[in-house]
Amino acid sequence: SGINAEYGEGSLILAIFQVMTLAVGDGANDVGMLRQADIGIGIAGREGTQAVMASDFAIEQFKMLQKLVLVHGQWTYHRISDFIFYFFYKNLFYATLSLFYQFFNGFSGSFAQEEFLVVTFNTFWTTPGTFVSFVMNQYGGSKEDILRDPRGYRAGRLNEVFNNTNQIAACLEAIYHGIIVFSIHAMSCWDSVHSKLEFGAGLTFISLTVMNLNFLVRSPNITALLGITILLTLVIEMAWFYGYGMLDFLWQYFNEDPHYTFKRALDNPITWLNLVLCVILSFLPRVLLATLTGTSTGTKKPYDSLYSCWDKSKKRLAKKELPLGIPMGGITVATIGHKQDSDMTTVAVT
């Protein structure tokens, strides 16, 4: 009782472990603990809804906690991490193209890409694949696979995915793809006469195709829905490029005449040859790395090193034992409360 009075249930865990905590409670006496923890989960039960109101997530039964933490927690961690990495990737990719174009226009600040495509780049051309890939992908396996072997959850605690190394790798990949796409397309147009719009049309078409195909390369599980979404995006992109210059009523809104410019760019066989070369050279390093490391995405899977660090992590956390705590395979479950209390509080330290 003295420990509880001095620290409080949540503060005791934070004071000893100094790590991110998850608290679970179902009554009014758990409100302080739920607010003190980094993540609070309230259980709607017989003791009212005060714990639910003070929590970040609410569940109806305690058995739902396993699926919430191990399955949806793992999926969400990977989805958010991959989304952030891809967001940096595609924008840095596009910025690299604009940067290298400045060497050919006297650093005037103008874009090689057409204005409408620049505006809709983030809002339309890369959105469908992003939505499907980062909402539907099941990182680490299906629900049954994760519940059968939940050790992949440790990727978040060990910071194996969302870290500086993977962030730098995503940025370097974006710069590399931008250099490859711009260099190949610029060299193919070196000794020929092209307008800025025609040059930018081919450059934009190739770069958007590489960005969308990147979903398939980096996806942990290629589903039919993802494949259909990417295919439809590429078909709509091609149809738009062919029909864009034929919309006569739009010409009055542009500084340059786009009359059949995009159609001429796609009718040029050099553009399609550049596309094939850019796709091969852009994804060749990732494929080679995936072959050497035995992974599908070219980066270390979050659960690859779990088997090797299992015993080490277990021994390390076993030394940090709370009062009345029971170390369980690296996740310490501490039961805090008076012996005469029938309602004991469980705090899981991840």
CB-based burial, 75-95: b 16+ in 10 Å, e otherwise: bebbbebbeebbebbbebbbe
Give the pLDDT of residue 280.
Answer: 94
Give the pLDDT of residue 240.
Answer: 82
Give the pLDDT of residue 178.
Answer: 93
Give the pLDDT of residue 96.
Answer: 93
Q: What is the pLDDT along the chain (350 residues), one digit of tens a residue?
A: 333 334 455 566 667 767 778 888 888 888 888 888 888 898 887 777 888 888 888 888 888 888 888 888 888 888 888 889 999 999 999 999 989 988 887 788 777 777 777 888 888 888 888 888 777 777 777 788 888 888 777 887 788 888 889 899 999 999 999 999 999 998 888 776 567 777 888 888 899 999 989 888 887 777 788 888 888 988 888 888 777 766 655 555 555 555 667 777 888 888 899 999 999 999 998 888 878 876 544 444 433 333 333 344 444 444 444 333 333 333 433 333 333 333 434 444 44
Give the pLDDT of residue 253.
Answer: 56
Give the pLDDT of residue 13.
Answer: 66
Determine the Cα–Cα distance for residues 153 and 74; give it in Å rounded to an integer: 6
Give the pLDDT of residue 68.
Answer: 87
pTM above 0.75, yes or no: no
Give the pLDDT of residue 266.
Answer: 82
